[in-house]
Structure 1
Amino acid sequence: MQSFYFIIIIIIIIIFFIFFIFFIFFFFFFNICKQVLNERKQIKNFILNIEQNIVENKEINMDALKGNHIKMLEENKTKMEN
């Protein structure tokens, strides 16, 4: 009878250990995903700022940019903002 209780206790400890390892793995995986998403967001914002400077501040000569190019930049901006 005592060996039965001992086996049950060992099984409970193993199950607890498995859940603990799973929790640690999930926590680190979640943090890595969060960091990647933040980096992508920073890159997207950097690109949007460059496009905004090109369109609004007219850093490039307007003769070089045709109306279609400006429309394309604005469409890309709205797509990336969504």
Structure 2
Amino acid sequence: MPLDWDKLRIFHAAAEAGSFTHAADKLHLSQSAISRQVSALEQDVGTKLFHRHARGLILTEQGELLYRPAHDVLLQLETV
């Protein structure tokens, strides 16, 4: 199943920001929209991508594995 680019972009922003709230501010979306999209991506890939804590988000091992290629692809898209 192909991954949704919007979900990957939102996942990447959340990983970079360390919280759904900060990612929402950066992307001009609501915090709940960020949370829903990340949860949907987690369902798509069949695993949790973040450990959710009161102080923010920490990538799981599987999240780390997805973050690097997502980062590289999004960086390349920004330069196009």
Shared fold by TM > 0.5? no
TM-score by length of 1: 0.28
Greater helix content: 1
- Larger Cα Rg: Structure 1 or Structure 2? 1
Q: Which has the higher strand share?
A: 2
TM-score calculated relative to the size of structure 2:
0.29
Say which structure, 1 or 2, has more relative contact order (CA 8 Å, 6+ apart).
2
